[in-house]
Amino acid sequence: MRDALQDWFERAARPLPWRDGRRDAYRTLVVEVLSQQTRIATVEARLPGFLARFPDLATLAAADLDEVLAVWSGLGYYRRARALHALARAVVADHGGRLPREPDALQRLPGIGPYTATALAAQAFGVPGVAVDGNVRRVGARLLAAPDPSDREVRSALTALLWGDEPHDGQGAFVAEALVELGATVCTPRAPACPECPLRPGCRGAADGDPTRYPAPRRRTAPRPWTLHAWLVVDRDADGGAVVAVERRADRGPWAGLHGPPWRDEPPPDAEPLARFVHRLSHRTIDAHVWRASAPPEDADVRWLAAADLAGLGTAEIDRRAFALVAATR
């Protein structure tokens, strides 16, 4: 079955830019971290810019976090950028600047979970293993005809199917990537293309006649509402140029370390409304109000930046939408 999977992968895998046969551990790491919760088209578009600015682990480790966040701007899930930066520093400090090869050691690094550790070890170092993400979980659930298998059950079912016992060296390092690709392109959520699937002979879900019953849908919790108010304060510097009050967020929460106008739970007093929009996070729906304020909140620790310099900051999408209104305050 492993040979069939390999044949299929070599024939049918999408020609993504990072599938050029090079086993560059740093580039594989960046691709894996970027790919978490980001569409492949976006990863393809943003990868060259990130690698141009941070071409290797040592450069990334030596950079300021603010600069990393600025290059990451617009990609969302900024904890990934913070963790990647912390990981680079940990590898330089504790591993002589080289990523460790084994999944267990990789998993002890900041931001690396079981999936990324296995995928990275396989793709960068040829260590065989089954990395279970959402795509692979779906494949495993259908192979087992199981509505809600654990990651361990998925891993052991796929291991038994592909190796017979434990993953072993030799052919097999491609497996982690091939299974993710199979889930993304063949064993899709609503319309699995079973006749094209190299795992079809071992699939109980397909044999049952309706593999889309597996896995059972998970109950989603509805995003919680949250109302936030941006205090957009624009002043003039000594030369008459516009300067904007900018706050760097504390090192916790979804936007830790990013810059924006001060956001508070309350609107500024006697303020002029500029805009209101809905901003969605995975677990929150934000009712965002942007106000023209005459002064920052008393508790804010702001810097004053020229309007033209705002584009170079690490900002979240919600901040960029607020800063886009600076022109409206003049």
Question: Which residues are annotated as catalytic?
Answer: 32
- If you write DSSP's letter for every residue of 143-194 in order, what string do you get? HHT-SS--HHHHHHHHHHHHTSSS--SSTTTTHHHHHHHHHHHTS-SS---G
Q: Using the rule CB under 6 A, is 274 a contact of ligand SF4?
A: no
Q: Using the rule CB under 6 A, is 215 a contact of ligand SF4?
A: no
Least separation in angstroms between residue 222's CB and ligand SF4 is 30
**Options 49-57, 62-70, 77-85, 139-147: segment touching ligand SF4 (CB under 6 A):** 139-147
Q: Which is nearer to ligand SF4, 75 or 136 (CB)?
A: 136
Angle at 49 between CA 48 and CA 53, to 5 degrees: 115
Q: Using the rule CB under 6 A, is 144 a contact of ligand SF4?
A: no
Tokens matching residue 67 = 């600069």
Which one of residues 143, 146, 245, 258 is an interface residue with ligand SF4 (CB under 6 A)?
Answer: 143
Least separation in angstroms between residue 151's CB and ligand SF4 is 17
- Residue pair 15/44 in contact by the 8 Å Cβ criterion: no
Tokens matching residue 248 = 């760097």
Which one of residues 89, 200, 213, 320 is an interface residue with ligand SF4 (CB under 6 A)?
Answer: 200
Q: Using the rule CB under 6 A, is 187 a contact of ligand SF4?
A: yes
Q: Using the rule CB under 6 A, is 192 a contact of ligand SF4?
A: yes
Picking from 25, 6, 27, 9, the residue whose alpha carbon sits closest to that of residue 17 is 27
Tell me the β-bridge partners of 279: 286
Least separation in angstroms between residue 89's CB and ligand SF4 is 40
Which one of residues 197, 230, 305, 322 is an interface residue with ligand SF4 (CB under 6 A)?
Answer: 197
Q: Using the rule CB under 6 A, is 199 a contact of ligand SF4?
A: yes
Burial class of residue 314 in the structure, from the number of CB atoms within 10 Å of its CB (0-12 exposed, 13-18 middle, 19+ buried)? buried
Q: Using the rule CB under 6 A, is 80 a contact of ligand SF4?
A: no
Q: Using the rule CB under 6 A, is 194 a contact of ligand SF4?
A: yes
**Options 2-10, 97-105, 201-209, 267-275: segment touching ligand SF4 (CB under 6 A):** 201-209
Q: Using the rule CB under 6 A, is 158 a contact of ligand SF4?
A: no
Residues 6+ apart with CB under 8 A from 102: 121, 127
- Residue pair 131/178 in contact by the 8 Å Cβ criterion: no
Q: Which is nearer to ligand SF4, 31 or 197 (CB)?
A: 197
Q: Which is nearer to ligand SF4, 140 or 262 (CB)?
A: 140
Strand locations in 167-321, DSSP E? 224-232, 234-236, 242-248, 259-260, 263-264, 272-280, 284-292, 302-306
- If you write DSSP's letter for every residue of 42-78 in order, what string do you get? HHHHHHHHHHHHS-SHHHHHHS-HHHHHHHHTTS--T
List interacting residues with ligand SF4 (CB under 6 A): 139, 142-143, 186-187, 192, 194, 197, 199-200, 203, 205-206, 211
